[in-house]
Structure 1
């Protein structure tokens, strides 16, 4: 006889972190349709063709990676849950990754013509360097062990997205495209929780391995990171050589690669720190948002708080400060 189907009981937790993460994510809920991207059109028209090309391609790449995360990543991780509540959290993450992917289309529909949008997606869906990292991550989603899947997810959330995030943060630091940057800051805030939560779940499983198994697995983790970074160097040159930002973006990538390793409980690999990152970009991260009400268009019955300022520590969600906004 089959076992009875089990109703999820949030009053009986196996892991308090599941509840803390659920509450953090639901507090942060947002939708792209409530952000007035069209207010950035005047800034957009001042950018050079090379600058516009970079913006288009980085957002195309981000759309692809968020699509991968929403369509394959979370469903893969849900095969290896430790608690019912973890699956609920992953369902939330899966939905928000779809929101992230859709957000870039909202940006495209505002800033680009239909023909330009077609070109962006044609490039995204055929570029070999971009496809390599998507296929590499998806390989582990489809064929990897429980721990390998989590590593792939954390590397995607906390490392691979950042070659794209650099661009809107740079422009925000130069007081341009602030509403586009609002979306990126909202996404960053989500990803900081996603990466840290999945990294936490990874550490629970990793700590159950023998010392020899841990050593072997850690070697695999660093090998994968090296492989992804080598590909990311090519991607960064492809995107940023035309505007002269390549070396600065690579520094930013190495900095975030270290944060991905920290999410997994491993030591940083690269010497780069926040002090090495372009201060304009770090200022773009930490600059407080404008005070407009994203939700005023639908009346007072649907009001959410403004996005709070982010700082360097917000890249890593900490489970000991769930009550902080």
Structure 2
């Protein structure tokens, strides 16, 4: 970014990679904050849920908070070291901020739906349970000790795959006319993560294509091994969260489908046979619906009207580039 004689000002009129500019515009167009979503409107729905359902949601959002914290604190710091352009570094700065917004959004949900004692219990579980910690520590170890391309691949696996066991619940309950505002936040986060995963996957592919054939094969095998290991842990996580309410098998289909999406972002073939047709249509419909709430006082909707809030189809919710 600099040379020995001067510090280089970023020049957005001299773009080296047009994907950097397009991604910046996409991310700023869909900027949002959790404070604009009326979560308290979901309290009546929350009171109708069973103790098992409330416990599931607490653990779901605790796990999502952990992963977003990892992305905001460690992932982007690592990826920034390998930025090809100043514009790429600017995009990564935007991604880092929005990952922090995502993490904070879950605390907004907790403060609305849970007591102080319940919140402390959720975070204690999140910070200490071996299954949820396994995936966070494995990804972070790659950030700390992996190669540049391994770090990019790990970030894509997290963004495009590991989040989705948690995303399933609010989308499913939205389809059953419950917790609409909680689901609104999740849909906004999914919209962001779809861009993050695709963009970082694109940067991975640029580097991958420059490797000798033997190194490509070695890295590709490594990615599949890491993904399958994470999938086995994710299956345990899914059973732990969803067995009691009978949704485990539906969630497993969803996470396998998104594991394939992560591989697609990296330029690789799918590992699992699951397709969009196998995913519960209620959940796919939740993904494919644009944001719905609107603040009539400020005339700002949850999409913030910085650009039209497009509906996301199966083909573009992780593949918009």
Output the TM-score relative to the length of structure 1: 0.94
Distance 1:24 1:122 in 2: 36
Per the TM alignment, residue 314 of structure 1 is displaced from its structure 2 partner at its CA by 3.0
**Aligned pair 1:293/2:284, yes or no?**
no
Aligned length, in residue pairs: 316
Per the TM alignment, residue 37 of structure 1 is displaced from its structure 2 partner at its CA by 0.5
Q: Which runs of 5+ in 1 are unaligned?
A: 320-325
State whether residues 185 and 285 of structure 1, in contact with CA within 8 Å, keep that contact through their aligned partners in structure 2. yes
Structure 1 residues 300, 289: CA separation in 2 closer, same or farther (over 3 Å shift)? closer
State whether residues 76 and 149 of structure 1, in contact with CA within 8 Å, keep that contact through their aligned partners in structure 2. yes
Distance 1:76 1:287 in 2: 33
Aligned to 1:248: 250
How do 1:38-117 residues align onto structure 2 when only pairs under 5 Å count? 38-117=40-119
Distance 2:5 2:133 in 1: 42
Q: 1:167 aligns with which of 163, 169, 186?
A: 169
Per the TM alignment, residue 301 of structure 1 is displaced from its structure 2 partner at its CA by 8.9
How do 1:1-325 residues align onto structure 2 when only pairs under 5 Å count? 2-290=4-292, 292-294=293-295, 296=296, 299=298, 304-305=304-305, 307-319=309-321
Distance 2:263 2:219 in 1: 13
State the Cα deviation string for residues 172-200 of structure 1 (Å, max 9, x = none). Answer: 11111111011000000000000000000
Per the TM alignment, residue 212 of structure 1 is displaced from its structure 2 partner at its CA by 0.9
State whether residues 202 and 264 of structure 1, in contact with CA within 8 Å, keep that contact through their aligned partners in structure 2. yes
State whether residues 289 and 311 of structure 2, in contact with CA within 8 Å, keep that contact through their aligned partners in structure 1. yes
Q: Which runs of 5+ in 2 are unaligned?
A: none
Moved more, 310-319 or 76-85: 310-319
Structure 1 residues 300, 232: CA separation in 2 closer, same or farther (over 3 Å shift)? closer
Distance 2:126 2:259 in 1: 23
After superposing on structure 2, the runs of 4+ consecutive aligned residues of structure 1 that deviate more than 4 Å are: 300-303
State whether residues 42 and 179 of structure 2, in contact with CA within 8 Å, keep that contact through their aligned partners in structure 1. yes
Distance 1:132 1:214 in 2: 27
Output the TM-score relative to the length of structure 2: 0.95
State the Cα deviation string for residues 108-149 of structure 1 (Å, max 9, x = none). Answer: 000001111011000000010000100000001111111000
Structure 1 residues 287, 300: CA separation in 2 closer, same or farther (over 3 Å shift)? closer
Moved more, 305-314 or 120-129: 305-314
Distance 2:156 2:290 in 1: 27
State whether residues 186 and 307 of structure 1, in contact with CA within 8 Å, keep that contact through their aligned partners in structure 2. no
State whether residues 40 and 176 of structure 1, in contact with CA within 8 Å, keep that contact through their aligned partners in structure 2. yes
Distance 1:212 1:302 in 2: 50
Per the TM alignment, residue 316 of structure 1 is displaced from its structure 2 partner at its CA by 2.0
State whether residues 189 and 314 of structure 1, in contact with CA within 8 Å, keep that contact through their aligned partners in structure 2. no
Distance 1:52 1:308 in 2: 31
